[in-house]
Amino acid sequence: MSGIPEAVSVPHFVGGGRIETWRKPVPAPGPGQLLVQVKANALCGSERPQFRDGTDVTPGHEAAGVVVAAGSNTTTAVGTPGAIFLMDFCGQCRSCRHGFTNQCLAKRGDMGFNRDGGYGVYELVHENIFFPTSTDVTPTEATLLLDIMGTGGHAIRRAHLAHRDIESVIIAGAGPIGLGVLAMARIMLGPDVPVYIFDMVDYRLSLAEELGGKAISVANGKTVAEGLRRHGVDVVDIAIDTSGKKVAREASLHSLAQRGALILVGHGEDLRVDVSPDMIATERSVLGSEYFAYSEMAVNAKYLAEHRTYLNKIITHRFGVDEIQHAFELFFAGETGKVIIEQ
């Protein structure tokens, strides 16, 4: 591979909240594979176990970059910019054939978790999980297509399966995923649909307000119900939990009107449901929402082109890869939006 080194230095998550550097060989793409030079990768809360416990896999699952080498049986040209889908889906199973690539039954891996990901200089991917982007979209902006727009938009689409006439939304958690859900709700449902959002961190709630959300603080014993009443409402049509916390999920469920739907996005704790009053009498629904399907990236790319300035507000910090230790410490302190490592 002309011009590509045999090995490079990459971040090594050694555990105990420490990130060091080690050398790894640069892989050559085989049949159906692309080698991508990563230009940007967004931090994610799901990387906390890797930061805490360590891993020999190079993390990073919100990557964007440029194709620098292509294996046989590929059609993507060297020099093509794009973003990398998290799940290395097979493309052949029942789920994939019907477009549910986020529910692949024979998944080959998850980039950044059990396959080397985007905090390295180069990332080897199967061509089918590479999404080409317009040359006027920066790599940092391209990362928005992943956990922010992808996960957020998928949650809204899941909500529409249970409730077609959505007139109000509440979001549990104003971290980056919650902000992504907020932004996509505003884009997909329109600015006239109020989107309430609750959290304990003032910084996050202020950022949510900048994005058009109606903030509710649940710090110091304040409740979601009280917060909704301060905004002049008692119930909402859709609740989307990004926090993964039992107390937040139950507060979200109890904020729902008849025919309301609770969409569970954040992994974590459980949920107690009293079936008759919570579900049957009210005809409420509870749905899971896992990542998003690869096919959703095309329409989200159009949303990104139309709402670029707005969506860029979610990105609050950018660091070089040499600052990745500080970036993670700052991110896990809780007072950031989306944090990007740029290379």
What does the pLDDT look like over 97-139, one tens digit per residue?
999 999 999 999 999 999 999 999 999 999 999 999 999 999 9
Residue 118 lies in a domain: yes
* Range of the structural domain that residue 40 is part of: 7-145+313-342
**Can you give the pTM of this predicted structure?**
0.97
Q: Quick one: which of 66, 1, 72, 5 has its CA closest to 33? A: 72
Under DSSP, the state recorded for 112 is T
What is the 3-state composition of the chain as percent helix, strand, coil, each rounded to the nearest 5? 35, 25, 40
Residue 294 included in any domain: no
User: Which residues, in sequence order, are bridge partners of residue 275?
Assistant: none
In a domain, 180, yes or no: yes
What is the token pair recorded at 146?
């992943």
- 303 within a domain of the structure (yes/no): no
The whole-number pLDDT of residue 2 equals 72
CA dihedral sign of residues 100, 103, 106, 110: positive
pLDDT the model gives residue 1: 72
**Is 40 inside a domain boundary?**
yes
Q: Is residue 332 part of a domain?
A: yes
Statement to judge: residues 34 and 118 lie in one domain: yes
- In this structure, what CATH number is given to the domain that contains residue 89? 3.90.180.10
107 and 119 inside one domain: yes
Q: Give dist(CA 152, CA 131) in Å, integer.
A: 18
Clarify whether residues 279 and 320 are in a common domain.
Answer: no
pLDDT of residue 128: 98
Are 31 and 81 members of one domain? yes
Of 197, 101, 117, the residue nearest 154 (C-alpha): 101
Which pLDDT score is estimated for 200?
97
Low-confidence residues of the chain, pLDDT below 70? none
Whether residue 297 lies inside any domain: the answer is: no
156: CATH? 3.40.50.720
Residues 141, 153, single domain; the answer is no
Q: What is the structure's pLDDT at 261?
A: 98
